[in-house]
Amino acid sequence: MDPLLPDSSHLSRRSWVVVGVVAGLGRFPVKSTAGESLSLAPVTDRGLQHDREWAAYTADGGIASGKTTRRFRKVDGLMRWQSQVPAGGDVPTLLSPDGEPYQVDDPAASAALTRAFEQPLVLRPETSTKHHDECGVHLVTTSSVRRTEELVGGNVGTRRLRANIVLDTDGSGFLEDDWLGGVLALGPYVVLRLVLQPQLL
């Protein structure tokens, strides 16, 4: 889902339908790591500020991820590491599974990843190659999570989905499918254009 800026003042209030309540905000400063929960999140035309701004790159120039595509390379275990942006700061901190902190622009952080995963990994900020899968904001509804759990017969939860926005909705089902082509207002200032997630490259 892509942010529309500035605000939602161009929308007629008569056209608004309440579909849910924001139950969680998440940011993942280093792609594919466990991120941080937020109560407030600045939004830019790229998405949540600092979200997936950095990533670990493999030796062939791929972006370390939970999957392999043309851009991404599957590196299992990244979720055991956590990334966060210190209050008032701009450079994320990467925390090892043991809680050891590294500033991502310090070569020691890349060295620690390289040792832990036994392959060359280098942390880099985003340039012309996007770190987001496709859309700048990843949103899931609790209805979709419940339906997925019914289909797989087990707990899914929202943490493993690494969503930026968890929307608490009623019932069970993939409600988002009926929203495609519309817009979703999150308060008076942020509007998301709802699009289908294209095939990842």
d(CA 50, CA 91): 9
**138-192, pLDDT tens digit by residue?**
899 999 999 999 999 998 878 778 899 999 999 999 988 888 888 888 888 888 8
Our CA dihedral for 58, 31, 182, 185, rounded to 10 degrees, sits at -160
Q: Which of 18, 33, 27, 7 is nearest to 123 (CA)?
A: 33
d(CA 2, CA 5): 10
Instruction: Note the pTM of the prediction, 2 decimals.
Output: 0.84
CB atoms within 10 A of CB 50: 24
Q: What is the mean pLDDT of the chain?
A: 88
Helix runs in 50-158, H state only: 107-117, 142-152
CB atoms within 10 A of CB 170: 12
Under a CB-based contact definition with an 8 Å cutoff, are residues 148 and 156 in contact?
yes
Give the pLDDT confidence score for residue 98 in this predicted structure. Answer: 96
User: pLDDT confidence of 195, banded at 50, 70, 90?
Assistant: confident
**54-90, pLDDT tens digit by residue?**
999 999 999 999 999 999 999 999 999 999 999 889 9
User: pLDDT confidence of 12, banded at 50, 70, 90?
Assistant: low
To the nearest whole percent, how much of the chain has pLDDT over 90? Answer: 62
Give the pLDDT confidence score for residue 88 in this predicted structure. Answer: 85
Average pLDDT over residues 30-50: 93
User: pLDDT confidence of 13, banded at 50, 70, 90?
Assistant: low
Under a CB-based contact definition with an 8 Å cutoff, are residues 159 and 34 in contact?
yes
**Residue 151 half-sphere exposure toward CB, CA atoms < 13 A:** 10
Domain ranges of the chain: 53-125
b/e sequence 101-127, b meaning 16+ C-beta within 10 Å: ebebeeeebbebbeebbeeebbbbeee
